[in-house]
């Protein structure tokens, strides 16, 4: 189930079956000069990301992936198939956009793609050894960038006392002057030992990982949303990074078009979040020791990337009004809780 079909060229309406990868979607839409904002990695599947949120490198311009969704074909727990959209089963359509994992199996999505030309793409390596200060400065630049610019930061394990960070920045412009203007504040943040800037297609940005780069094992990860990167949050994140216990620490800029939607529009309600943050490690207890101080600064939880799916985390993922609507939907469409493998809603049903 990985077909990708253009339904209507004049409205850029695209039907994507849920087994497609985001790399395949980007490649299929490239000849039309279109893109649907997705994650940063082409091997990620359409199904999970498009039912959770979808925080991507065109996010500040296009919103979340779920904001591009116009309709979904769903198989319900009782085997019924139906189509959910703003006009057909609208409450289910609301729930699928942020909590699809609990409500049914989406077999196909209809999205409105956005027009894109060549994009300015940069990878800037930064010396982030003054980690807390660097994080705050980076957040100030990424959070105040124009909507045509979305930046993701990744920090790995420290090298001795050195912390190296990498910004991946996408600028929706073909104009070298505009691209330079958008990138300069990032380049000025800290000494930058390596930089690569070019004009690319969106499909190049999310190109699939080949068979030579498999992923093994079961990582432990924590996933949060931040309305602001406060000094306390930056200090907690710096302690986590310099501890060496997180081998992969991404900070993704949100805001822009993501914040245009009302929190009640979709089951992903955290529209005020300016950043999404993830820490990935190997031992839950060890990672949590460093994550807890950061957690106290979070405004919510993004269900993708979170491996702690205990019921007490539900309240972080879904504010009270959202959770109440979700519970009502669950009682209506999955009263026997068939879909419990991800975050299990049983304790609140
Ligand atoms: C390398 C990498 C990079 C990533 N980058 C980003 C990023 O930039 N932005 C971002 O937002 N996320 C990102 N993610 C997280 C991604 O959104 C989740 O991992 C997502 O669950 C992947 O979807 P999948 O279909 O590939 O996974 P799966 O493992 O197939 O699905 C995960 C869960 O989603 C639910 N689900 C999957 N398909 C369906 C369906 N058709 N109907 C209903 N529920 C379904 C199920 O509960 C399932 O257990 C990244 C993940 C990886 C591994």
**Residues 23-36 pLDDT 10s:** 999 999 999 999 99
Question: 276 in a domain, yes or no?
Answer: yes
Statement to judge: residues 85 and 183 lie in one domain: no
Pocket test for ligand 1, best of 3, 46, 49, 251 (most atoms within 8 A of CB): 49
CA–CA distance, 176 with 173 (Å, rounded to integer): 8
Of the residues 115, 141, 174, the one at which a domain ends: 115
Listed in sequence order, the residues at least 6 apart from 298 whose beta carbon sits closer than 8 Å to its beta carbon are 224, 225, 226, 277, 316
Of the residues 71, 95, 115, the one at which a domain ends: 115
Question: 13 in a domain, yes or no?
Answer: yes
Statement to judge: residues 99 and 155 lie in one domain: no
Statement to judge: residues 142 and 251 lie in one domain: yes
Please write the tens of the pLDDT for every residue from 236-280.
999 999 999 999 999 999 999 999 999 999 999 999 999 999 999
311 pLDDT band, cuts 50/70/90, is confident
Statement to judge: residues 161 and 97 lie in one domain: no
Statement to judge: residues 50 and 150 lie in one domain: no
Give the pair of three-digit tokens for residue 36. 């649907």
Atom 26 of ligand 1, nearest CA residue: 45
Atom 19 of ligand 1, nearest CA residue: 304
Statement to judge: residues 107 and 123 lie in one domain: no
Number of domains in the chain: 2
pLDDT of residue 196: 95
CA–CA distance, 229 with 298 (Å, rounded to integer): 9
pLDDT reading at 6 higher than 70: yes
Statement to judge: residues 152 and 101 lie in one domain: no
Statement to judge: residues 134 and 276 lie in one domain: yes
Statement to judge: residues 20 and 150 lie in one domain: no
- Ligand 1 atom closest to the Cα of residue 54 is 11
Statement to judge: residues 178 and 43 lie in one domain: no
53: domain CATH number is: 3.30.465.10
Statement to judge: residues 178 and 298 lie in one domain: yes
pLDDT reading at 224 higher than 90: yes
Residue 45 lies in domain: 4-115
pLDDT of residue 215: 57
Residue 85 CA, chain-centre distance (Å), reads 22
Distance 47 CA to ligand 1 centre (A): 7
CB of 256 closer than 6 A to ligand 1?
A: no
pLDDT reading at 74 higher than 90: yes
- What average pLDDT does this structure show over 128-137? 98
Statement to judge: residues 97 and 172 lie in one domain: no
Beta-bridged to residue 253, according to DSSP, are: 275
């Amino acid at each position: 189930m990985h077909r990708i079909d253009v339904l209507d060229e004049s409205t850029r309406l695209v039907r994507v079956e849920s087994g497609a990868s985001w790399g395949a979607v980007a490649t299929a839409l490239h000849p039309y000069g279109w893109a649907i904002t997705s994650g940063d990695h082409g091997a990620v599947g359409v199904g999970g990301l498009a039912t959770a949120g979808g925080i991507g490198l065109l996010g500040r311009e296009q919103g979340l992936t779920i904001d591009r969704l116009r309709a979904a074909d769903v198989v319900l727990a009782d085997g019924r198939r139906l189509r959910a959209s703003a006009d057909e089963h609208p409450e289910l359509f609301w729930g699928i956009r942020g909590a699809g994992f609990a409500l049914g199996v989406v077999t196909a999505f209809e999205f409105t793609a956005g027009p894109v030309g060549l994009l300015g793409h940069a990878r800037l390596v930064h010396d982030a050894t003054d980690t807390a200060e660097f994080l705050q400065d980076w957040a100030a630049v990424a959070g105040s960038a124009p909507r045509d610019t979305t930046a993701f930061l990744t920090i790995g394990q420290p090298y001795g006392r050195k912390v190296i960070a990498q910004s991946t920045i996408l600028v929706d412009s073909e104009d070298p002057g505009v691209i330079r203007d958008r990138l300069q504040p990032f380049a000025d943040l800290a000494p930058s030992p390596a930089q690569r800037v070019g004009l690319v297609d969106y499909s190049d940005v999310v190109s699939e990982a080949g068979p030579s780069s498999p992923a093994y094992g079961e990582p432990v990860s924590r996933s949060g949303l931040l309305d602001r990167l406060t000094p306390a949050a930056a200090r907690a994140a710096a302690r986590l990074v310099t501890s060496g216990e997180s081998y992969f620490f991404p900070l993704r800029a949100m805001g822009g078009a993501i914040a245009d939607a009302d929190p009640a529009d979709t089951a992903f309600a955290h529209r005020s979040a300016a950043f999404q943050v993830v820490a990935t490690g190997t031992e839950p207890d060890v990672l949590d020791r460093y994550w807890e101080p950061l957690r106290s600064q979070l405004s919510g939880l993004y269900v993708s990337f979170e491996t702690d799916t205990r019921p007490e985390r539900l309240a972080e993922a879904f504010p009270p009004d959202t959770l109440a609507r979700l519970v009502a939907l669950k009682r209506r469409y999955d009263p026997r809780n068939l879909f419990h493998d991800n975050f299990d809603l049983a304790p609140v049903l």
